Amino acid sequence: MTGKLRLLTGFAAGYVLGARAGRQRYEQIAAQARKVWRDPRVQAQADSVRQTAGEKGAEAGHALKDKVTEAAAVARSKATEAAALAKDRVSSTGSSHGGAGSTDIVGTVENPARSE
């Protein structure tokens, strides 16, 4: 039913915009459109479409929120794993060379904004 209503609305709009019959014909078409729009059956269908759209929109919003939360958790997990791996590599490299230089490298990895 929604597809037919869209087609009818599109046809009517195209006819109104494309008609060259003048203002009188435009007024006739506009009056007929208002009459159709005020029809209780049309209003019932429009209310049904509005309600369905609201429900589907809410469902989509919840699904999107769940997906974003899930993606953030995965990203956080991968970032934590990468940081731990980098720290392990730096620690193993620093321990083979020994000395205070390994502390500076670890400090740089943990806080990239820190510059010495």
- Provide the token pair at 15: 């006819």
In this predicted model, what pLDDT tens digit does every residue of 8-61 receive, in sequence order? 888 887 777 776 667 788 888 899 999 999 999 999 999 999 999 999 999 999
Is residue 109 over pLDDT 70? no
**Can you give the pTM of this predicted structure?**
0.41
CA distance 74 to 94: 30
In this predicted model, what pLDDT tens digit does every residue of 59-95 receive, in sequence order? 999 999 999 999 999 999 999 999 999 888 888 876 5
> Is 78 exposed, middle or buried, given 0-12, 13-18 or 19+ CB atoms closer than 10 A?
exposed
